[in-house]
Structure 1
Amino acid sequence: MTDQPNPATMTLPDRARAFFKVNGQGFAVATMVAIVAQFLSEHYGAPAMLMALLLGLAFHFLAESGPCVAGVAFTSKTVLRIGVALLGVRISVDQIIELGWEMIAMIIAGVALTIVFGLLSSRLVGRGWRLGLLTGGAVAICGASAAMAIAAVLPKDEKSEQNLIFTVLGVTILSTVAMVLYPIITQWFGLDYVQSGIFLGGTIHDVAQVVGAGFSVSEETGDTATLVKLMRVTMLAPVVLIFALSIRAFTDSKDDDGERPPLLPFFVIMFLVLAAFNSLGLVPGAVQGIISDISRWALLISIAAVGMKTSLRIVQEVGGQSIVVIVAETIFIGAFILWGITLLSEVS
């Protein structure tokens, strides 16, 4: 039997070669799936996240056995966290202050109440608290990206993969429906361009669909919707941190390997650091654009890997209760933001 190389004595190029030998094939396949998903999105208008997820499901057999297993696992976990961390470069304090304290308060309340609503409704229909936090956070904050970030700090159980894949599918499909339906709702209620932007940015789950819906109404609505949506994205780090602290304080839940989720995940720290750098003007516009693109591709590649790790049988077992929960959460946040806009317009 040949001796295994000692990592402590390996050079950096040797470590890189060893790393890619183990993880390279799985990562490469997930990347190819993401590229195809992006192509379909650009040429046929389908949501890239949804396409990556569905295409990944078709390659599930690669994650069961063979040389791709380790790389798929690495991509679905580590690359995901890199993508979420890099989202911080899109956030700045100036953007938040520009909204005004009334709007900030309404958005924070909407996020918090939607998560609480998700937790309560999940328990009401007999599903666990993990699903409530996962779907509630995804609906309240930023869709698939939030779902994957929250899943990273939740203790794992036998339904973790099922809950994550369902949540990503659910919020992506509902965001696509909302992108078409919500601009019509803004007309029904007679909202002006700014109010329409607040409604669209405060209710639609995924950033891409917010941009699509907003600019389909007007440029002013698109700008406002994007700004409000980024405010919701800002809530990702504190919400994930609160979840991590609460889980450690109030439960004895552990991962399948017996380990508790980290107190403060490193990717959350990096998210906050990048947001702070951007707020201080230390990130040039060109660099911000590059990092944002890297973040988007990392999330797209990782969701392809998440799809590859999940079998269609697991998706089919999700049950109608979970669908009721995520649809109810979507209706709840929509109704709350619409009520808040009406209230603020009456006060002003």
Structure 2
Amino acid sequence: MIFKKYLVVVPGIILAFVLYTLSQGLNNIIGIEILGYAKSPISTAMIAILMGIILGNIFKMREGFLLGLDFTQKYILKLGIICLGIQLKPFEFLKFGTVAIPLIIVCIISVLVVIKLLIKKLKISTKMAYLISIGSTVCGTTAIMATAPIIKANKGEVAYAIANITVFGIISMLIYPYFANIYFNGDPMYVGLFLGTAIHETSQVAAAGLIYDQQFNSPETLNVATVTKLIRNTFLIIMIPLFAYLFNRNKTKKNNYSILDIFPYFVLGFIGMIIFRNIGDQVFLTENSQILWQHSVTTIKDSAKVFLSMAMAAVGLSTNLKDLKSMGYKPFIVGLVAMVTVGLVSIIAMQTFTKLFL
């Protein structure tokens, strides 16, 4: 019975893997065969999500595929992020964190203030503003879904907010790696911090970091972006109670929520993989064991990129461009302002905090 339950997700997972494989093949044809590079300068993750968006909006996805695509976006993505931990050392995690935490706090406060002022002018619902705010500042769709029942948002408000975050997250995911490379002169620390704080979804940050790594050969940027986003995700356990208090402070009935239900546990898996890598580096010291260990590390690194690219293909296939029509211009403006605000604040704050902490 349990086997049958999980078997239904297989078609969607296979579809995501096939699209990843096609993207990798197309990437090699364009970058190596046509352009003549030894290694393609084009990002497989970018091709995967763009192909997914095109195919997903030309063909209607069957229910059997949607279940697997959803599984890929949620769980295979997290598996890919956990595997990325194999590239890091503990002191690097702490180094990035000392800069990322104050940067994240400033970005969250700035966006909340700007949206608070903006909704007075546009007169959109408070619930909608809360959902867009937490989606823009913390962790996208996950934050929206966790906040919705706390503030009793209806399905229409949730759908609007998710469409908003998805649209602007994809735009920033595709543009910011190239913008950041130019603006920060290819500095991996600055670029990674910017991508980790300025892009909404965990999947979008992972994709942007992977795009940057594949385009500019900078695995450190992918590491910094991932660590920054994972730290940012943990702020959900602060923001949910805060929003619950703000929304219910004048009401007699309070909503119940559980920290255990909203904590992003895959962050612990990521940290565990960092520890695993560093234990392995200390244990496997002989020449033969080192060769085997390094091969294992390389395999996990490569697997992480495959999993992330599959997740990007699934995101693309699940993105319905018709949602743009249903958003309306007011939430669209709020989402645009939130995206621009978090990007600008990230740049300004980053240049301040990196001078203090680095």
**Residue 274 in structure 1 maps to residue 283 in structure 2:** no
User: Closer, same or farther in 2 for the Cα pair 1:131/1:232, shift >3 Å?
Assistant: farther
Contact 1:210 1:226 in 2 (8 A): yes
Contact 1:198 1:225 in 2 (8 A): yes
Output aligned runs, 1:218-257, within 5 Å.
222=218, 225-246=221-242
**Residue 306 in structure 1 maps to residue 318 in structure 2:** yes
Deviation at 1:263, TM superposition (A): 4.8
Output aligned runs, 1:179-190, within 5 Å.
179-186=177-184
1:315 maps to what in 2? 324
Per the normalisation by structure 1, the TM-score is: 0.66
Output aligned runs, 1:153-232, within 5 Å.
153-155=146-148, 157-186=155-184, 193=187, 196-197=190-191, 200-201=194-195, 204-205=198-199, 206-210=205-209, 212=211, 222=218, 225-232=221-228
User: In 1, distance between residues paired with 2:340 and 2:114?
Assistant: 11
User: In 2, distance between residues paired with 1:304 and 1:346?
Assistant: 38
User: In 1, distance between residues paired with 2:212 and 2:333?
Assistant: 24
User: In 1, distance between residues paired with 2:227 and 2:212?
Assistant: 17
User: In 2, distance between residues paired with 1:25 and 1:128?
Assistant: 39
User: In 2, distance between residues paired with 1:53 and 1:81?
Assistant: 18
Structure 1 unaligned segments of length 5 or more: list them. 1-6, 8-14, 63-67, 253-258
Deviation at 1:327, TM superposition (A): 2.8
**Residue 79 in structure 1 maps to residue 79 in structure 2:** no
Aligned pair count reads 305
User: Closer, same or farther in 2 for the Cα pair 1:204/1:314, shift >3 Å?
Assistant: closer
Q: Which residue, out of 257, 260, 265, partners 1:264?
A: 260
Structure 2 unaligned segments of length 5 or more: list them. 31-41, 149-153, 200-204, 249-254, 281-296
Secondary structure (helix, strand or coil) at the match of 2:276 reads: coil
Higher normalized helix content (fraction of residues): 2
Q: Which residue, out of 296, 300, 304, partners 1:292?
A: 304
User: Closer, same or farther in 2 for the Cα pair 1:154/1:306, shift >3 Å?
Assistant: farther
Output aligned runs, 1:142-161, within 5 Å.
146-155=139-148, 157-161=155-159
Secondary structure (helix, strand or coil) at the match of 1:268 reads: coil
User: In 1, distance between residues paired with 2:272 and 2:211?
Assistant: 28
Deviation at 1:293, TM superposition (A): 3.6
Percent sequence identity is: 10
User: Closer, same or farther in 2 for the Cα pair 1:39/1:53, shift >3 Å?
Assistant: farther
User: In 1, distance between residues paired with 2:310 and 2:263?
Assistant: 13
CA RMSD in angstroms, aligned pairs only: 4.3
Tell me the amino acid that sits aligned with residue 326 of structure 1.
G
User: In 1, distance between residues paired with 2:192 and 2:5?
Assistant: 49
Deviation at 1:110, TM superposition (A): 3.8
Tell me the amino acid that sits aligned with residue 296 of structure 1.
L
User: Closer, same or farther in 2 for the Cα pair 1:326/1:228, shift >3 Å?
Assistant: farther
Output aligned runs, 1:40-119, within 5 Å.
43=30, 46-60=46-60, 62=61, 68-69=62-63, 71-73=65-67, 75-76=69-70, 78-86=71-79, 87-91=81-85, 93-99=90-96, 101=98, 103-117=99-113, 119=115
User: Closer, same or farther in 2 for the Cα pair 1:75/1:110, shift >3 Å?
Assistant: same
User: In 1, distance between residues paired with 2:125 and 2:19?
Assistant: 32
Deviation at 1:112, TM superposition (A): 2.4
User: In 1, distance between residues paired with 2:190 and 2:243?
Assistant: 37
